[in-house]
Amino acid sequence: MCGIVGAVLTEGSVLEGLLGGLRVLEYRGYDSAGVALGLEGGVSIRRKAGRIEKLEDDLRAVPLADSPIGIGHTRWATHGPPTDENAHPHTDNQRRLALVHNGIIENHSELRAELEAEGVTFSSGTDTEALAHLLGRELDRSAPSLAEALRRALRLVHGYYAVAAMRFGDEKELVCARQGPPICVGVTPEGSYLGSDVLALIPHTRDIVFLEDGDVCELAPGRMEVTRIDGSVVQRASHHVSWEEADAGKGVYPHYMLKEIHEQPDVLARTAFSRIDEARGDVNLGHDELGDGGWSDALLQSIDRVQVAACGTALHAGYIARYLIEGLARIPVDVDYASEFRYRDPVLAPNTLALAISQSGETADTLAAQRLAREKGCTPAAICNVAGSTLVRESDAVVLTNAGPEIGVASTKAFVAQVIAAYLLAVRLGRARGVIDRVQGLELVRELRLLRPSLERLLSEDHVAEIKAVAGRHLNAKGFMFLGRGINYPVALEGALKLKEISYMHAEGYPAGEMKHGPIALIEPGMSTVVVNSRGLVADKARSNVEQVRARGGQVICVGSDPESLALADEAIEVPRSSEWLSPVLNVIPLQLLSYEIARLRGCDIDKPRNLAKSVTVE
Ligand code: F6R
C-alpha cells in the first residue's frame, strides 16, 4: 500500500531524508513515487511513474531548491493508472500546497463534479486530487491555517485515508490525518516527522505517536498538536519503539526474505525464551512495554470459546492456534478469514475471546473483524508484531511477537513468531485453568528451548544446499500440491501460499485427507506434491498420500520427521524431531526456503512480488 513521509526541520534541507524514508517504505509495494518541497509562497513537486531510482535520476538531472519542509509518497495505483500525472503529491490550482494520500476517497466523483462546476481544473485521474483542491478551496474561504483547511475538507470526505499536506506561506505548515490506514509522527528539537509506518521514523526518533482514526495532527520542529476533525484538542501518548535502524536493512543477504528466514532462531528466542518461567512450569505473556499484556488469570479463566480472525499467512497461524488451544487448553476455537467474519453477522457465544492475529496490526479486514467482535461483547485480544499498532491499541490483551520489522512482502519470521505466541497462549490458558499441571507445563516450555538448535540445523549451509537442489529439479513442474494433516495441515496451506506469492507457480494446499475427494484428479507425471509429515498422531494417514501420489506418476517431496514417508518419497527433506505441537515451526522452514529458491531460479523479484503489498490497509 502507498507510503507517506513528511518532515519539517528547524534548518537544513529535507529532501535526502524524504528520499531515505521512501526507500525504507519501498517494501510496502508501489508503482510511482514523488516528493514536494515547500518554497516560500508555493511548492515544487517532482513525481515519476516507476521506481524511486527514476525519481532520484530526475532530481539529479534537474535539482529542486533546498527546503526545510516537504512530503513524499510511493503510490500503489487504485484510481487511475501508474503515470507521472497520477503520482502524488497533488496540488491545488494555485500551487500553494501539496498533498499525499493513502486509501480511497469514496465520494471523489461527486467532489470532483462540484469543484469543476466551481472552475477548478483537474490534472490527474486520481481520487486524491479532489482533496488537494478542497484544501485550496478552504484556504480561499480564509481557513486560518492548513490544519483548519484540512479539518474542514475532511468533513466533506467519505472514505479511508492517511493524508499528509504542507505549505510554506508565512509559516512552515505540515499536517496529517488518519481515517483507516495508519500514520505516525515523531517530534525532536531538530524537526518533526511523519510516516506511514515506524520504519520511516526510526532514523529520527524511536518515540512515536500513532494517530487514531479521526485525528488531525499539526507538526512543527519540537512540537505537535493533535485535534479531532471538529477541532477539539486531544492528547496522544507516545510509544517507545525498540526496533533498530539496522533492522530495516538487508544485512549480508541478497533479499529481505532470505534475511528474515535466517533470523528465525533469534525470533524464537525473542518471542519465547524471556517468557519462560521454569520454576512455575508456565509462561508470562506480558512484555516490557505492556506489563502483563492484559492476560489476567481472571480473564484466562473466564474464556469459554476463542474466535480467531486473520488474513493470509496470519490466518494459517490462526489455524495452528486452533490445534494448540483446543489440544493443550481444551477450549473450543473457531477460525475465520477476517474478510468473511466481518460480513457474515456471526453468532458469538458469551465469554468469547476474539483473537486477531496480524503481523502489522493494521490490516483493514482484521481490524474490522476485531471491532465487530468487540461490539458483539467479545473480549478483543491480539497476537501482533507491532507494539503501537491499531490492533494492539484496540485490544484488551496482547501477545507481542517481537519478531522485529518484517520487510519481505512474503511473511516468514512473523508466521513462526505467531505460531510460537499461540503456543505460549495455549500453555498459559492451560495452566491458568488447571488443565495443564506444573510438570506438564515444564515439559511443554522445555520443548521450546529444544527448537533452537533444530532451527539452526535447518538453516545450515548443507541443508540450504539440499533444498536448492530440490528446487532446481522441480522448477518447471506443471504445478504444486501441498498436503498436510492435523497440525501440519495449515503448514501445507502456508507452503502453497509462499510458493505462489513469490514464484507465481500454481500451488494449492489441502488437508491430506481431502485429496481423494477431488484434488487427486490433478496428479500426473510432472505434477509435484509436497507432503508435510512429522511423527505423531496422523503420520501414518499422511504417509498413505505419499503412496497414492506416487502410484499415479506424481513426484513427491516429503518434508518432516516421519522416516517411513521420507523413505517412500522421490525427494526427502528431513526435519529434526520435535514435539508434534511444535512441528509446524520446523516444517515450515524448508517450505519457505523451497519457495525462495524456486523464485530465485525463475528470476522473480522476490522482495517485491507482482501485485502484492506488504500491508493491506484498505478493503
Ligand atoms: C503472505 C502475507 C499476507 C499477510 C496478510 C495479513 O506472505 O504476508 O498474506 O499475512 O496480508 O497481514 P498482517 O499479518 O499484517 O495482518
Task: CATH number of the domain at 289, please.
Answer: 3.40.50.10490
> Rounded to whole angstroms, how far apart are CA atoms 70 and 608?
27
> Rounded to whole angstroms, how far apart are CA atoms 308 and 295?
17
Phi/psi-derived region of residue 167, left when phi > 0, alpha when psi is between -120 and 50, beta in every other case: beta
| Whether 426 and 496 share a structural domain | no
Taking the centre of ligand 1 as the mean of its atom positions, its distance from the CA of residue 614, in whole angstroms, is 7
Residue of minimum CA distance from atom 16 in ligand 1: 358
Q: What is the pLDDT, as a whole number, of residue 289?
A: 58
Instruction: Please tell me if the CB atom of residue 359 comes closer than 6 angstroms to any atom of ligand 1.
Output: yes
Domain boundary among 190, 215, 248: 248
Taking the centre of ligand 1 as the mean of its atom positions, its distance from the CA of residue 121, in whole angstroms, is 39
| Whether 88 and 21 share a structural domain | yes
Instruction: Please tell me if the CB atom of residue 368 comes closer than 6 angstroms to any atom of ligand 1.
Output: no
| Whether 294 and 356 share a structural domain | yes
Q: Nearest CA to 158 among 210, 109, 217?
A: 109
> Rounded to whole angstroms, how far apart are CA atoms 26 and 72?
12
Domain boundary among 449, 468, 487: 449
> CB–CB of 392/288 below 8 Å?
no
> Rounded to whole angstroms, how far apart are CA atoms 307 and 350?
11
**Has residue 614 been placed in a domain?**
no
Between CA 231 and CA 237, with CA 232 as vertex, the angle to 5 degrees is 115
| Amino acid letter, 19 | L
* Domain boundaries, position 49: 3-248
Instruction: Please tell me if the CB atom of residue 363 comes closer than 6 angstroms to any atom of ligand 1.
Output: yes
Q: Nearest CA to 182 among 210, 142, 205?
A: 210
Mutate which of 1, 28, 363 for ligand 1? The one with the most ligand atoms within 8 Å of its CB, which is 363
Q: Nearest CA to 385 among 228, 172, 614?
A: 614
Taking the centre of ligand 1 as the mean of its atom positions, its distance from the CA of residue 415, in whole angstroms, is 9
Residues designated catalytic:
2, 614
Instruction: Please tell me if the CB atom of residue 531 comes closer than 6 angstroms to any atom of ligand 1.
Output: no
| Whether 404 and 494 share a structural domain | no
Taking the centre of ligand 1 as the mean of its atom positions, its distance from the CA of residue 21, in whole angstroms, is 22
| Whether 196 and 271 share a structural domain | no
**Has residue 254 been placed in a domain?**
no
DSSP, collapsed to helix, strand or coil, labels residue 255 as coil
Instruction: Please tell me if the CB atom of residue 503 comes closer than 6 angstroms to any atom of ligand 1.
Output: no
| Whether 340 and 206 share a structural domain | no
**Has residue 619 been placed in a domain?**
no
> CB–CB of 45/167 below 8 Å?
no
| Whether 433 and 479 share a structural domain | no
Which stretches in the chain have pLDDT values below 50?
Answer: none
The Cα-based distances of 513 to 319, 483, 519, 539 in angstroms read 16, 9, 10, 12
Taking the centre of ligand 1 as the mean of its atom positions, its distance from the CA of residue 382, in whole angstroms, is 15
Burial of residue 114, with CB atoms counted within 10 A of its CB: 0-12 exposed, 13-18 middle, 19 or more buried: middle
| Whether 293 and 348 share a structural domain | yes
Instruction: Please tell me if the CB atom of residue 571 comes closer than 6 angstroms to any atom of ligand 1.
Output: no
CB count in 10 Å sphere of residue 349:
12
Query: Is the bond preceding 81 in cis, omega lying within 30 degrees of 0?
Result: no
**Has residue 617 been placed in a domain?**
no
| Whether 436 and 468 share a structural domain | no
CATH of the domain at 122: 3.60.20.10
Q: Nearest CA to 330 among 427, 421, 420?
A: 427
**Has residue 330 been placed in a domain?**
yes
**Has residue 501 been placed in a domain?**
yes
Taking the centre of ligand 1 as the mean of its atom positions, its distance from the CA of residue 311, in whole angstroms, is 6
Residue of minimum CA distance from atom 10 in ligand 1: 313
| Whether 328 and 431 share a structural domain | yes
Burial of residue 85, with CB atoms counted within 10 A of its CB: 0-12 exposed, 13-18 middle, 19 or more buried: middle
Mutate which of 257, 308, 313 for ligand 1? The one with the most ligand atoms within 8 Å of its CB, which is 313
CB count in 10 Å sphere of residue 308:
28
Residue of minimum CA distance from atom 6 in ligand 1: 311
**Has residue 290 been placed in a domain?**
yes
> Rounded to whole angstroms, how far apart are CA atoms 492 and 532?
7
> CB–CB of 176/212 below 8 Å?
no
Domain boundary among 223, 248, 273: 248
DSSP state of 133: H
| Whether 27 and 153 share a structural domain | yes
> Rounded to whole angstroms, how far apart are CA atoms 576 and 131?
57
| Whether 99 and 113 share a structural domain | yes
**Has residue 464 been placed in a domain?**
yes
The total domain count for the chain is: 3
How many CA atoms within 13 Å lie on the side-chain side of 1? 24
Q: What is the pLDDT, as a whole number, of residue 288?
A: 66
Q: Nearest CA to 219 among 166, 169, 265?
A: 166
Q: What is the pLDDT, as a whole number, of residue 33?
A: 96
